[in-house]
Amino acid sequence: MELTIDKFESWSPVKERPLIISGPCSAESEEQLMDTCTQLYKEGIRVMRAGVWKPRTRPGGFEGIGKEALGWIQNVKKELGVKFAVEVANPDHVEACLAAGIDILWVGARSTVNPFTVQEIADSLVGVDVPVLIKNPINPDLALWLGAIERINKAGITKIGAIHRGFSSFQKTKYRNVPAWQFPIELKREFPEMPLFGDPSHICGNREMLLDVAQKGLDLNYDGLMIESHRDPDNAWSDAKQQVTPARLGEMVRELKPKSAHS
Ligand code: PEP
Ligand code: MN
């Protein structure tokens, strides 16, 4: 299918490449969010992320603060003048995020896997002009990823990017989600104009491999990275093992080499 996708330069919230999006897996409290984002700002981050509704695999865990956290995000945006990305998984989320002035929406891996869900999100975006990032589905199925991108695009969204966050695997591997690097490469082949982001946090599931996986994305010419950061990673309410402090995030970003510098 032919897609109409705007050039990344025309909608990216910042000029710097790669675009680094960082922030906590989940918004937990107004103070945690403000503190984390203020520290990230000092490290040069200008586009933040935070989970408001959390798609937990099993019930009983923290499922996100919900709408109240959008007010906290608005305060952070006002205070720091940054842009914010939030995951949406249904039309209510889309409506609430748009009303709150969220700058970028993203579709999570557990939503991309379901065409009904993606279509509902797409229908709620008709007539709306907002960038939407689409994570790969949790299972290694390129057609589902392509299909989700096509559904969102058919709804009239032209500011689209893809996020590579790795794939669930039956086998135990060193990754939380195996990267299967050929999938994003094939995706790019289908839609060469589309910006592509890496999500080393959800690929790795730990802090140790983050830098290498982030670098691999840049070596493949990714346009940006989404990396989770929390002021107190060990005590995070979700994804504690893979989050890094803002200070470490800043250090990592400075350690990353642009593709041309070492290839
Ligand atoms: C997240 O970004 O915190 C998240 C839930 O990611 P994914 O959809 O990749 O599992
Ligand atoms: Mn997470």
Residue 103 lies in a domain: yes
Residue 51 CB less than 6 A away from ligand 1: yes
Residue 7 lies in a domain: no
Q: How far is the CA of 87 from the centre of ligand 1 (A)?
A: 8
Res 57: pLDDT: 86
Residue 166 CB less than 6 A away from ligand 1: no
Residue 67 lies in a domain: yes
Residue 25 CB less than 6 A away from ligand 1: yes
pLDDT band at 102 (very low <50, low <70, confident <90, very high): very high
Q: Where are the alpha helices (DSSP H) in the chain?
A: 8-11, 30-42, 68-80, 91-100, 109-112, 115-123, 142-154, 182-190, 200-204, 210-219, 246-255, 259-262
Residue nearest to atom 6 of ligand 1 (CA): 108
Residue nearest to atom 3 of ligand 1 (CA): 25
Ligand nearest to the CA of 237: 2
Ligand nearest to the CA of 111: 1
User: Dihedral through CA 205, CA 206, CA 207, CA 211, nearest 10?
Assistant: -60
Give the number of domains in the chain.
1
Q: What are phi and psi of 25, to 5 degrees?
A: -55, -50
Residue 64 CB less than 6 A away from ligand 1: no
Ligand 1 pocket mutation, candidates 56, 58, 62, 110, criterion most atoms within 8 A of CB: 110
From the alpha carbon of 54, which atom of ligand 1 is closest? 5
Helix or strand or coil: residue 225? strand
DSSP 193-217: TS-EEE-HHHHHSSSTTHHHHHHHH
Q: How far is the CA of 245 from the centre of ligand 1 (A)?
A: 18
Q: Compute CA distances 70 → 13, 16, 38, 86, 99, whole Å.
A: 19, 26, 17, 9, 9
Res 261: pLDDT: 55
**C-beta of residue 157 within 8 angstroms of C-beta of residue 132:** yes
Residue 25 lies in a domain: yes
ipTM field? 0.99
Ligand nearest to the CA of 164: 1
Res 260: pLDDT: 59
pLDDT band at 230 (very low <50, low <70, confident <90, very high): very high
Residue 60 lies in a domain: yes
Q: How far is the CA of 122 from the centre of ligand 1 (A)?
A: 19
Residue 34 lies in a domain: yes
Residue nearest to atom 4 of ligand 1 (CA): 108
Res 160: pLDDT: 98
Task: Please list the residues that pair with 85 across neighbouring strands.
Answer: 49, 104
Residue 68 lies in a domain: yes
Q: What is the CATH number of the domain that holds 32?
A: 3.20.20.70
Residue 75 lies in a domain: yes
For 150-168, how does the pLDDT look when each residue is reduced to its tens digit (9 = 90+)?
A: 999 999 999 999 999 999 9
Q: Which residues form the domain of 188?
A: 18-109+161-256
